[in-house]
Amino acid sequence: MKRVSYSDNRQTGFTLVELILVISLLSILAVIGLPKFFEPSSFKIKAAQDLTINTLRYAQKLANATNCQTQFQSAENGQWIKIMMQQTCNQGDFTRTVYNPGTLEPHFSIYLQGLSLVMTPNGPITFFPEGYILTSDRSPPVLSIAGKSFTISPQTGFIHAQ
């Protein structure tokens, strides 16, 4: 009786040429693609834009919830943003501090990580309890951070990010 051998003498695996080709393709992709994905400035710009939009939304919701006017302001060449309320509800100057709901600090001020917020028209944005906003020259505000801009609808306070 003839014995059947299950072992085959052929070797399996990748050749050296295939391995070198795959490694070289992966290294080319890593050199070209990864720096663009992990560029810290793009994350910093997006984070600053998100912080600004969320601060604007919080100012609007706070005005609606408290039935008092709130004001969104930028300070120190647009590197800080903050929310203030009127000293007494719906009358007086905007000098009452707003607590930051995330940190419970008595001043709602956020640093934009070295970036600058440009507001057109320049000046504070006032949110009314009904939802609409008012700017210094009554035009729709356009805000931008490092070329990424967003507008606010004066009638509804809706923020249109672009």
Superfamily (CATH) of domain 40-161: minor pseudopilin epsh domain (3.55.40.10)
pLDDT of residue 14 exceeding 90, the answer is no
Q: How far is CA 76 from the centre of its chain?
A: 19
pLDDT of residue 140 exceeding 80, the answer is yes
The model's pLDDT over 49-84, given as tens digits with 9 standing for 90+, comes to 898 999 999 999 999 999 999 999 988 788 889 999
Token pair, residue 159, equals 């923020």
At 5 the pLDDT is 60
67, 83, 60: which is closest to 131 by C-alpha?
60
- The rounded mean pLDDT for the chain is 85
Domain limits, the chain: 40-161
Q: Which amino acid would we find at residue 67?
A: N
Helix (H) or strand (E) holding 5: none
- Write the Ramachandran bin of 86: left for phi over 0, alpha for psi from -120 to 50, otherwise beta: beta
d(CA 155, CA 143): 17
Mean pLDDT of 137-142: 84
Lowest mean pLDDT among 1-10, 101-110, 118-127, 147-156: 1-10
Quote the percentage of the chain above a pLDDT of 70. Answer: 91
pLDDT of residue 8 exceeding 80, the answer is no
At 68 the pLDDT is 93
The model's pLDDT over 25-42, given as tens digits with 9 standing for 90+, comes to 999 988 887 777 766 677
pLDDT of residue 92 exceeding 90, the answer is no
First to last CA, the chain: 81
